[in-house]
Amino acid sequence: MIISRTQVQNLLKVYELNNTTSPNAKTEAVTNARKADEVDISDQSKLKQRILKNISKVSPMRGERVEQLKDQFNKGVYEIKGDKVAEEMIYRLLTDELV
């Protein structure tokens, strides 16, 4: 097959026409693709976000109180009150049910 000079010139003209319209088409395609992007956050991630938000509201642990409890525990004088433990367990169970 022989390709003539005229055929090459015609092909180049077509290529130039396609190239001049192509950048706009590409830009529109990219813009449309960007509009179609969506973010879907899972229920588990939403729950983690709520937990982290609520944790940040809780006052930080007092280092002095922690050290005091450590000393009591190490000396063997730390007293565990069963009713307080049970009360806290029930409170946390109910809180978990509501969240």
The DSSP secondary structure of 38-87, one letter per residue, reads -----HHHHHHHHHHHHHHHSPPPPHHHHHHHHHHHHHT-----HHHHHH
Euclidean distance between the first and the last CA atom of the chain, given in angstroms as a whole number: 77
Determine the longest span between alpha carbons in the chain, in angstroms: 103
Provide the residue ranges of all domains of the chain, joining segments of one domain with +. Answer: 43-98
Check whether 47 has a pLDDT greater than 80: yes
Assign 75 a pLDDT band (cuts: 50, 70, 90): very high
Signed CA dihedral, 49, 52, 58, 59: sign only: negative
Check whether 95 has a pLDDT greater than 60: yes
Q: What is the pTM of this model?
A: 0.29
